[in-house]
């Protein structure tokens, strides 16, 4: 079983009581250990007695860590003083279960090694009342060039090897996954930063000794650390094992995506051994293809599906085609895919559930066979809307700020799509620009004067943040029928759920999208 440790920083003796309260919250929240970070406390004249109180009264087993500035902590004193502090805290019958010491100092000085060995249990002196030694190595700038040889050397002396480095891409996580098996000793191998989350959440899948989770977002001690609640509830950490299937949303950015909450809720409801992660992939096609190839090739990872978002939808379609995989009609028509499914034999299937969602939402309100419809915009969603409208039998007009891009879109669909500068008489309008989106280029604006849109047309607004954009509001106020972007989002996510699980999402999962 992979343990969950919650780090708690304690700087002053008068913070001991609240630190112990936090340790209780960690226990109630499902943690197995607390890591008391005493980098600052250790320099206080009463630091030893305060740290002893923490160890004595902690409701959970303790990792005691006094981290140096060189490895991301705050300890600035002499090494010998640091060892003396740890020695003084862990005397007699009172010893933290684990004592963290940095490999850089350990390997540099035989004198330090000898002193630390007096504090911890070791081969020549195995005493149950002594701490176990965690040798640790942290690199906030990237992967240490000598990582492999360093961890191998650490495994000789340590009870637990801990290595954490800032991932440069999701591919770094693959190396972290392999380390526990390769080293053969209890190992904590974690990637920090936005690309590192899989190494933290999937630690049980690869036999990691422990992972860290923050009590709340503000108390994280390393970049990319999830909260305890996210780890235990959203990612269902306790049910992850070597057979867990991996899914995720790949794009840039993905940190605010609602998809992990939605799909993990579905997996939970269906009691499926699967987890869904945010997977940031830098915005260039080469990075996307390299990441996808390496993740698909990893033998133990069980990557079974991806939601793919901006800006990688077109690259996913061409990747699956080039691999000899299967692209559905919506992908063939739109040239873009937002869903990857990997079947039991490892074959790839690309789908475009944006097309399906737009098609379903419009078909539920209006018969567009032989009718004219307007697409506003010429980006990725505009392509999906054009494909959906063509499948519904509509004659499609495209209008975009940059007319050359509209011409490009139209020509890729053939002569059936017309580029226009005014809407004319249309039965449906699909708004596919990012105008009106909060945080977008023009959150208060409208991409077209609402007064020139026919009142009896149906408006599908694809932007869902906010749910009521200025264009939708103006059109609805004048009596027009509107469909919101949230409905499109729910429909495309539900279609992904059907593709991956063969079942409909339950109401609780759909409520996750409504509430967020
Ligand atoms: P995209 O490829 O970047 O295209 C953006 C489009 O917006 C382009 O046509 C662009 O015109 C236009 N635009 C941007 N700023 C503008 C401005 N100030 N005035 C007029 N036009 C402007 O983006 P996308 O992937 O198609 O996404 C578009 C929107 O769809 C997003 O904002 C998102 O809210 C929404 N969306 C919804 C869902 C859902 O499930 N509901 C899913 C995905 C996306 P130019 O060509 O002239 O630059």
Q: 38-67 pLDDT, tens per residue?
A: 999 999 999 999 999 999 999 999 999 999
CA of 434 to the centre of ligand 1 (A): 4
Q: Whose CA is nearest to atom 14 of ligand 1?
A: 434
For residues 154-174, average pLDDT = 96
Would residue 354 show up in a list of annotated catalytic residues for this protein? Answer: yes
Q: In what order do the strands lie in the sheet with 326-327?
A: 274-280, 245-251, 303-308, 339-342, 348-351, 326-327
In which band, very low, low, confident or very high, does the pLDDT at 128 lie, cut at 50, 70 and 90? Answer: low
For residues 198-225, average pLDDT = 94
Would residue 137 show up in a list of annotated catalytic residues for this protein? Answer: no
In which band, very low, low, confident or very high, does the pLDDT at 125 lie, cut at 50, 70 and 90? Answer: low
State the span(s) of the chain assigned CATH 3.40.50.10860: 246-354
Residue 126 has what pLDDT? 52
Residue partners of 424: CB distance under 8 A and separation at least 6: 372, 397
Instruction: Return the ligand 1 atom nearest residue 442 CA.
Output: 18
Architecture of domain 355-490 in CATH? 3-Layer(aba) Sandwich (3.40)
CA of 82 to the centre of ligand 1 (A): 56
Q: What are phi and psi of 240, to 5 degrees?
A: -80, 130
CA of 433 to the centre of ligand 1 (A): 3
Query: Which pair of structure tokens corresponds to residue 233?
Result: 């509830």
Whether the link from the prior residue into 311 is cis, omega within 30° of 0, is yes
Q: What is the pLDDT of residues 4-14, one digit of tens each?
A: 999 999 999 99
Would residue 263 show up in a list of annotated catalytic residues for this protein? Answer: no
Which of 336, 355, 434, 444 has most ligand 1 atoms within 8 Å of its beta carbon, as the pocket-test mutant? 434
Q: What proportion of the chain, given as a percentage, has pLDDT over 90?
A: 87
Rounded to whole angstroms, the Cα distance separating 506 from 270 reads 9
pLDDT at 492 over 50: yes
Count other C-beta atoms under 10 Å from residue 481's C-beta.
15
Would residue 141 show up in a list of annotated catalytic residues for this protein? Answer: no
For residues 119-128, average pLDDT = 60
CA of 50 to the centre of ligand 1 (A): 56
Of residues 162, 205, 258, 263, which has the active-site annotation?
A: 162
CATH number, domain 246-354: 3.40.50.10860
State the span(s) of the chain assigned CATH 3.20.20.70: 3-237
Between 70-84, 90-104, 178-192, 282-296, the lowest mean confidence (pLDDT) is in: 90-104
The CATH T-level fold of domain 3-237 is TIM Barrel (3.20.20)
Enter the pTM of the model: 0.93
CA of 491 to the centre of ligand 1 (A): 19
Tell me the angle at which helices 47-57 and 79-89 cross, rounded to the nearest 10 degrees: 40
Q: What proportion of the chain, given as a percentage, has pLDDT over 70?
A: 98
As a whole number, the mean pLDDT across the chain is 94
CA of 436 to the centre of ligand 1 (A): 10
Residue 221 has what pLDDT? 79
Q: What is the pLDDT of residues 240-293, one digit of tens each?
A: 999 999 999 999 999 889 999 999 999 999 999 999 999 999 999 999 999 999
Cα dist from 302 to 229, 239, 347, whole Å: 25, 15, 13
- Ligand 1: residues within 6 Å at CB? 310, 354, 377-382, 400-402, 405, 432-435, 437, 440-442, 447, 462-464, 485, 488-489, 492
pLDDT at 122 over 60: no
pLDDT at 448 over 90: yes
Rounded to whole angstroms, the Cα distance separating 249 from 185 reads 33
In which band, very low, low, confident or very high, does the pLDDT at 516 lie, cut at 50, 70 and 90? Answer: very low
Which of 312, 386, 405, 432 has most ligand 1 atoms within 8 Å of its beta carbon, as the pocket-test mutant? 432
State the span(s) of the chain assigned CATH 3.40.50.720: 355-490
Rounded to whole angstroms, the Cα distance separating 280 from 297 reads 18
In which band, very low, low, confident or very high, does the pLDDT at 106 lie, cut at 50, 70 and 90? Answer: very high
Q: Are 75 and 11 in contact (CB under 8 A)?
A: no
Between 27-36, 71-80, 194-203, 443-452, the lowest mean confidence (pLDDT) is in: 71-80
Q: Are 428 and 368 in contact (CB under 8 A)?
A: yes
Q: Whose CA is nearest to atom 34 of ligand 1?
A: 463
Instruction: Return the ligand 1 atom nearest residue 310 CA.
Output: 25
Q: What is the pLDDT of residues 366-402, one digit of tens each?
A: 999 999 999 999 998 999 999 999 999 999 999 999 9
Rounded to whole angstroms, the Cα distance separating 240 from 27 reads 20
């Amino acid at each position: 079983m992979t343990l969950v440790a919650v780090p708690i920083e304690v700087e002053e003796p008068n913070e001991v009581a609240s630190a112990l309260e936090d340790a209780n919250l960690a226990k109630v929240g499902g943690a197995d250990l607390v890591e008391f970070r005493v980098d600052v406390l250790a320099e206080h004249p009463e630091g030893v007695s305060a740290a002893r109180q923490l160890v004595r009264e902690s409701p959970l087993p303790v990792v005691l860590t006094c981290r140096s500035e060189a490895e991301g902590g705050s300890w600035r004193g002499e090494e010998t003083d640091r060892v003396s502090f740890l020695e003084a805290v862990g005397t007699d019958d009172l010893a933290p279960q684990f004592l963290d010491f940095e490999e850089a100092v350990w390997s540099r000085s035989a004198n330090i090694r000898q002193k630390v060995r007096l504090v911890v249990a070791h081969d020549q002196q195995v005493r149950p009342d002594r701490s176990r030694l965690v040798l640790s190595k942290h690199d906030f700038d990237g992967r240490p060039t000598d990582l492999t040889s360093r961890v191998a050397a650490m495994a000789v002396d340590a009870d637990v090897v801990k290595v954490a480095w800032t991932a440069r891409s999701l591919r770094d996580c693959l190396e972290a996954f392999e380390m526990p098996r390769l080293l053969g000793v209890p190992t904590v191998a974690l990637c920090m930063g936005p690309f590192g989350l899989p190494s933290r959440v999937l630690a049980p899948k690869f036999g990691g000794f422990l992972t860290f989770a923050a009590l709340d977002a503000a108390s994280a001690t390393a970049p990319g650390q999830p909260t305890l609640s996210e780890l235990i509830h959203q990612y269902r950490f306790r049910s992850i094992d070597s057979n867990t299937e991996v899914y995720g949303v790949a794009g840039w950015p993905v940190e605010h995506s609602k998809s992990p909450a939605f799909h993990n809720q579905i997996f939970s409801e269906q009691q499926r051994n699967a987890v869904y992660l945010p997977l940031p992939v830098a915005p260039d096609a080469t990075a996307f293809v390299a990441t996808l190839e390496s993740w698909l090739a990893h033998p133990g990872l069980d990557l079974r599906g991806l939601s793919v978002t901006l800006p990688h939808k077109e690259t996913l379609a061409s990747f699956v085609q080039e691999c000899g995989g299967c692209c559905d009609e919506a992908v063939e028509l739109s040239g873009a895919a937002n869903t990857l499914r990997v079947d039991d034999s490892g074959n790839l299937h690309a789908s475009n559930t944006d097309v399906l969602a737009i098609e379903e939402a419009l078909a539920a309100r209006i018969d567009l066979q032989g009718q004219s419809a307007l697409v506003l915009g010429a980006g990725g969603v505009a392509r999906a809307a054009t494909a959906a409208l063509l499948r519904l039998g509509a004659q499609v007009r495209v209008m975009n700020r940059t007319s050359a891009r509209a011409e490009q879109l139209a020509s890729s669909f053939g002569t059936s799509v017309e580029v226009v500068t005014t809407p004319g008489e249309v039965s449906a309008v699909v708004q596919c620009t990012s105008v009106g989106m909060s945080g977008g280029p023009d959150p208060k604006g409208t991409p077209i004067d609402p007064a020139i849109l026919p009142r009896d047309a149906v408006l599908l607004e694809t932007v869902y943040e906010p749910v009521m954009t200025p264009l939708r509001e103006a059109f609805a106020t004048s009596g027009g029928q509107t469909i919101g972007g949230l409905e499109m989002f729910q429909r495309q996510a539900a279609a992904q759920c059907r593709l991956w699980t063969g079942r409909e999402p339950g109401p609780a999962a759909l409520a996750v999208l409504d509430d967020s």
